[in-house]
């Protein structure tokens, strides 16, 4: 239903507030192609460049990296004091023994620095560095999510070469 105010060129739609209220109550729905049965591919590349690939079932439209690794059952050591999300100190024992040492124990001064870095690939896109911490980084069904033991001296193109050119279907058949 609509009506026009006297002396005005504006038409007011009376049902618009009700329609907006109904739409705001709807659950978010993933767009076509962004979900694939609730699966995310988790890839871990360790210091020796050995790669482990795991298919993780997730529920909902998105999950955090921390929830994803927890669902995969990987042992984690985290420093959750970072404002940009939890820092990964160690995955499956590789890394720093926080809290007995700093989470970034291999990053001292201006020299070499090795740490766990994350990358996300939303097909058909490319791998991108994820600057947020584990608890703040979100992934969606269909994504590929990687953690790489990263020596800071490594060039970005070198690191991207360590990440597999896998598809979700090849990791989650």
What's the domain count of the chain? Answer: 1
Dmax (CA) for the chain in angstroms is 77
Q: How do residues 130-148 score in pLDDT, each as one tens digit?
A: 889 899 999 999 999 999 9
Task: Please give the residue that has the higher pLDDT: either 9 or 62.
Answer: 62
Note whether residue 141 is domain-resident: yes
Does the pLDDT at position 23 exceed 80? no
Does the pLDDT at position 43 exceed 80? yes
Read off the CATH number of the domain in which 163 is found. 2.170.130.30
Instruction: Read off φ and ψ for residue 157, nearest 5 degrees.
Output: -70, -35
Instruction: Give 110's pLDDT tier (boundaries 50, 70, 90).
Output: confident
Q: How do residues 60-90 score in pLDDT, each as one tens digit?
A: 888 999 999 999 999 999 999 988 889 999 9
Stretch 111-129: mean pLDDT: 87
| Predicted pLDDT at 123 | 81
Note whether residue 20 is domain-resident: no
| Predicted pLDDT at 155 | 59
Closest by Cα among 30, 57, 4 to 171: 57
Q: 52-55 long-range contacts, Cβ below 8 Å, gap at least 24?
A: 53/164, 53/166, 53/171, 54/171, 55/171, 55/172, 55/173
Cβ distance 68 to 74 under 8 Å? no
Note whether residue 90 is domain-resident: yes
CA distance 27 to 130: 27
Note whether residue 8 is domain-resident: no
| Predicted pLDDT at 10 | 44
Q: Which residues span the domain enclosing 157?
A: 33-171
CA distance 168 to 145: 10
Note whether residue 152 is domain-resident: yes
pTM tops 0.85? no
Q: Are strands 39-45 and 144-151 parallel, antiparallel or unpaired?
A: parallel
Note whether residue 115 is domain-resident: yes
Task: Please give the residue that has the higher pLDDT: either 37 or 153.
Answer: 153
């Amino acid at each position: 239903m609509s009506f026009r105010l006297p002396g005005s060129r504006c038409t007011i739609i009376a049902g618009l507030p009700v329609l907006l209220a109904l739409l705001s109550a709807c659950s978010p729905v993933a767009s076509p192609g962004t979900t694939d049965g609730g699966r995310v591919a988790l890839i871990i590349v360790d210091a020796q460049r050995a790669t482990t690939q795991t298919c993780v079932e997730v529920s909902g439209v998105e999950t955090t990296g921390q929830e994803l690794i927890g669902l995969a059952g990987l042992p984690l050591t985290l420093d959750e004091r970072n404002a940009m999300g939890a820092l990964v100190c160690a995955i499956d024992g590789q890394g720093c023994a926080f809290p007995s040492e700093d989470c970034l124990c291999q990053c001292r001064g201006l020299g070499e620095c090795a740490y766990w870095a994350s990358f996300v690939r939303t097909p058909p896109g490319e791998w991108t560095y994820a600057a947020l911490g584990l608890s703040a980084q979100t992934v969606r069904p269909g994504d590929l999510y990687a953690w790489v033991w990263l020596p800071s001296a490594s060039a970005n193109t070198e690191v991207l070469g360590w990440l597999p050119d896998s598809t979700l279907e090849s990791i989650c058949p």
